[in-house]
Structure 1
């Protein structure tokens, strides 16, 4: 674990309850549930981006609590997301609601959400930082609503433009925009305008690559169930592309499979759909588009970061942004 990652985790660790200090067994279990996802590690790239961006602006003294709060945001959102999608795995282990009753997992997500705000308040509660976090939560929730509603309503009339709008809200903002803006705000500076434009494009590229890895990645490296998006019926760019070009009979069978709840899908049907999508070229086309978006966004962000006072920290920030999208199987 890098030193910066260790520092962010230390702030998180100190903010969470300790099982050994709990006054009763139920609350010891509560503490263990809250710690489950944070202690699984994760890359903490978003949190590190907050600190490095603040450092690039010349002042990272207030950035660690903000970085830790952003990582807690990631953790409680993932808990809720896993419950809503009925996911199997997270970070290479069973999803929280697969280990504990879903009601307890949901409650743990709520508790981490509250801890996120407490960290920000205890760090001084700067108005602009608090407003950015509110924007972050609201934007992500609206994207999640689109994602969930399309599955619940059985929508198959979606276009790439629909997907991009959903992903910009659900994942693009909190991955590519918020860490950079929060780093600038933590340093007491106004964020560069490219953080909102190029950062959003980079966040979209990140999610497209995640969708690609969900279908062609290696489970031990990816950290989640391969083809989980098909089990959950996710309307990804890849699926939209595949359905738009599939022969009528094949598309009808694919839609029939995707309409079924997870527990009613068969392994054979999902395997058939998985192979048909891979054979269609939709995955390769999505990866190429993601790489093009990432390259353009990184070039714009490199130019923006080059204007900041701490050149070394700016270079480290850019390197970490590259790491966001330079993901392999």
Structure 2
């Protein structure tokens, strides 16, 4: 996250006050926890670059609006991550224990709810009414994608196809990662967002999520920031797993389904190690990387065309470089 954004987040979120009772001091420490862990700040950076591409100059009133919109996205991501970690019973977030692992589910859930409220305060500070339906659409689509993801896990549903996966990630990841940041940046500059932002963003968002799934299996734990193999332990429906299941030997498939029917705490370590090895040895990872490349290529072509009308082409080139790196990232 940019230093100016981090400063706005600290300005917006109350600091723990020694005069308060200890429980409330804890609440405000928890609100700052995920934002201060850092992260790449991808979504806010994309929004600010989009604003610059559409003529917003740093230091202007429009730039101040864009900064508050960027804070809105950062707080959205952080409260969603707190809730997502609870739903998935994740161990880590950004290289540290997930919030509910340190403080328990009830307190972490409440902290996520509180950050959600501060997200709306940041949006009000942006004072750009045209942004309100964009944020609402982002929340609706993300909730739909999250529901698909969680419903498949809750109902132990594995009769799924790669197309099902792509629908889920385009809802859960693409809107808040690419589509809405691009659109908000154009709005901050007083422009109607190009219609191509939708198709470009959903393709690039899918590529980004597929890469994330691949890194969860074969990435460097220090660079990745989350536990390697966590998606498998949590039973996440990924493109890799769904492709592997299509051709998995009957005995491996049986072991896999038996383990997936167990809660994370009861999964057999040796069996999960075997499963991770089978996935790595199969062609499923290469298949997923190929699909990611296809989506990245299509998304970049659409986005290049969409940005041709942007008044500041240097910022447009930076956007293309940023999203290309995301869609093809190795860490």
Structure 1: distance between partners of 2:9 and 2:90 = 25
Structure 2: distance between partners of 1:45 and 1:22 = 36
Partner of residue 233, structure 1: 235
1:12 counterpart = 2:9: yes
How far off is 1:122 after superposition? 2.2
Deviation string for 1:227-286 (max 9, x for gaps)? 111110011111100011111221111111112110110211111111011111101110
Structure 2: distance between partners of 1:134 and 1:185 = 15
Partner of residue 328, structure 1: 330
Deviation string for 1:176-203 (max 9, x for gaps)? 2111011112222111111100111000
Superposition RMSD in Å:
1.2
Structure 2: distance between partners of 1:131 and 1:21 = 39
Equivalent positions of 1:1-329 (< 5 A) are: 5-20=2-17, 23-59=20-56, 60-61=62-63, 62-124=65-127, 126-329=128-331
Corresponding residue pairs, total: 325
- 1:202 and 1:122, CA in 2 relative to 1: closer, same or farther beyond 3 A? same
Unaligned runs of 5+ in 2: 57-61
Deviation string for 1:124-158 (max 9, x for gaps)? 1x332011101111110111111011011111110
Contact 2:141 2:171 in 1 (8 A): yes
Deviation string for 1:195-233 (max 9, x for gaps)? 100111000000000000000001111100111111100
Structure 1: distance between partners of 2:123 and 2:280 = 44
Structure 1: distance between partners of 2:237 and 2:21 = 44
Deviation string for 1:76-98 (max 9, x for gaps)? 00000000000000001110101
Structure 1: distance between partners of 2:72 and 2:106 = 23
Contact 2:142 2:175 in 1 (8 A): yes
- 1:22 and 1:99, CA in 2 relative to 1: closer, same or farther beyond 3 A? farther
Structure 2: distance between partners of 1:136 and 1:21 = 37
Structure 2: distance between partners of 1:39 and 1:20 = 18
Contact 2:255 2:271 in 1 (8 A): no
Of stretches 249-258 and 33-42 in structure 1, the one that deviates more from structure 2 is 249-258
* TM-score scaled by length of structure 1: 0.96
Contact 2:66 2:126 in 1 (8 A): no
Contact 1:176 1:201 in 2 (8 A): no
Runs of 4+ in 1 over 3 A off after TM superposition: none
Deviation string for 1:5-24 (max 9, x for gaps)? 11111111111110146522
Q: What is the SS of the residue equivalent to 1:243?
A: helix
Q: What is the SS of the residue equivalent to 1:127?
A: coil
Contact 2:149 2:168 in 1 (8 A): yes
Contact 2:94 2:226 in 1 (8 A): yes
Structure 2: distance between partners of 1:297 and 1:163 = 18
Structure 1: distance between partners of 2:25 and 2:142 = 31
* TM-score scaled by length of structure 2: 0.95
Structure 2: distance between partners of 1:247 and 1:9 = 50
